[in-house]
Amino acid sequence: MTRHLPEQARREQILSAARRCFIESGYHPTRMDDIARAAGLSKGGVYFHFKSKQEVFESLVDEEFQASMRFLEEVTSGSALVAEKMQNIAAHYMEYFNAAPDAPRFFIVMGEMALRDEALASKLLEMQTAFIVQVSKLIDQGVAEGMLRATDSRTVAALLKALLDGVEGLKALGYTLDGAQLVAGGMDLVINGLLNRP
pLDDT digits (tens, 9 = 90+) for 94-143: 777 677 777 788 888 998 899 989 988 998 899 899 889 988 998 898 88
Looking at residue 73, the DSSP 8-state letter turns out to be H
pLDDT of residue 159: 87
Residue 36 clears pLDDT 90, i.e. is over it: yes
Check if the beta carbon of residue 12 is closer than 8 Å to that of residue 56: no
Integer Cα distance of 102 and 157 in angstroms: 25
pLDDT digits (tens, 9 = 90+) for 144-180: 888 888 888 999 899 888 888 887 787 778 776 666 6
CA–CA distance, 172 with 163 (Å, rounded to integer): 14
CA 158 vs. chain centroid, Å, equals 15
* pLDDT tier, 193 (very low <50, low <70, confident <90, very high otherwise): low
Domains and CATH numbers, the chain: 1-51 (1.10.10.60), 54-194 (1.10.357.10)
30: helix, coil or strand? coil
Query: 88-108 burial, b for 16+ CB within 10 Å, e for fewer?
Result: bbbbebbebbeeeeebbbbbb
Of 19 and 80, the one with more pLDDT: 19
What pTM was computed for the model?
A: 0.77
Would you list the DSSP string of 133-170?
Answer: HHHHHHHHHHHHTTSB----HHHHHHHHHHHHHHHHHH
pLDDT (average), residues 84-97 = 77
